[in-house]
Structure 1
Amino acid sequence: MLPLALAAAAAAAAIGVQAVFDPFTQDVPLCPLHALTGLDCPGCGATRAVHALLAGDPLLALHSNALIVLAMPVVLALYVRWIVDRVRGRGRIIDPPKGMLLGLGALVAVFTIARNLPGLEFLSAPSLVPGA
């Protein structure tokens, strides 16, 4: 029941936020790294990416934060696997191999560096808020 309750709560929250908040027209000052340095961290644009996906605009979502958008199917698959395991009575502890964690860390680092390099601005999170 816990996995389904979490999914229902997340869906309700997403629908509620989608209805009253638009991160493309309202400033979202959540990233201290960006506020202090002007650089995009790997999470910059994640709110806008999820908002764009929920609004049915996958291209804008990819432009906002490609890493988050590409990670979503993997996270969803892991979540479904967790639900199935819980329903079958198996409380599996997720213990990924060390190499997988290192690879994921390297991918995040490369994405973070790339989105801040000249010529790769298309990887940076867009801001459509006037004056932001």
Structure 2
Amino acid sequence: MTIQHAAHLDLVGRVRGVLLPVASAGAALAGGLVVALVDPNEAGHYPTCPFLALTGAYCPGCGSLRAIHALARGDVATAMARNPFAVVALVGLVVGWVLWTWRLWNGRRRTWVVPAWAIHAFLAAVMAFWVLRNVPGWTWLSPA
């Protein structure tokens, strides 16, 4: 086997290794494009949040579509006003995707898993955000 052939096989292996992250990014970008082009601020384009429709209270995801729409148009301030948790979570997802893709490109095995305390902390943050955005006087957390 020549050095060139071995390098080619290595590149093919790397490309195969990142197919899943690339496909995931493509699906996310396609979804983001739909939200960027179809304005969620106009009634009738997307269904109403079932939790909001049933209870009249905001769920942690309320305003996420409008936040993603604003981000797709470069308006970070509006995105943060609609759902700051979604914006921060999106940043975390992008960082996680980059680390995942880098690890697979380099052929490294996963060496750690998220500790239980981090999962519990994330769930506690979601629950706190959910409660606080429905407290009277905390309208700065509501997506309205």
Cα deviations by residue, 1:104-131 (Å, 9 ceiling, x for unpaired): 11111111000000001121112xxxxx
Against the structure 1 CA distance between its residues 2 and 52, is the aligned structure 2 distance closer, same or farther, given a 3 Å change threshold? same
Please tell me whether the aligned partners of residues 34 and 40 of structure 1 are also in contact (alpha carbons under 8 angstroms): yes
Task: Give the unaligned 5+ runs of structure 1.
Answer: 127-132
Contact 2:35–2:65 (CA<8 Å) still a contact in 1? no
Residue 58 of structure 2 corresponds to residue 40 of structure 1: yes
Query: Greater CA radius of gyration, 1 or 2?
Result: 2
The two structures have a TM-score, normalised by structure 1, of 0.85
Instruction: State yes or no: 1:24 paired with 2:24.
Output: no
Paired position in structure 2 for 1:60: 78
Question: Partner amino acid for 2:70?
Answer: A
Q: CA deviation at 1:94?
A: 6.5
Aligned residues: 125
Contact 1:43–1:68, Cα closer than 8 Å, also in 2: yes
Identity percentage of aligned residues: 38
Q: Which ranges in structure 2 are unaligned for 5 or more consecutive residues?
A: 1-18
1:13 paired with 2:26, answer: no
d(CA) in 2 for partners of 1:8 and 1:94?
26
Structure 1 residue 7 displacement after superposition: 1.1
Equivalent residue for 2:136, pick from 110, 118, 130: 118
CA contact (8 A) 1:65 1:123 kept: yes
Structure 1 position 3 matched with structure 2 position 21: yes
TM-score (norm 2): 0.79
Q: Partner letter of residue 12 of structure 1? A: A
Q: Which has the higher helix share?
A: 2
CA distance in 2, matches of 1:26, 1:94: 44
Matched, 1:109 2:127: yes
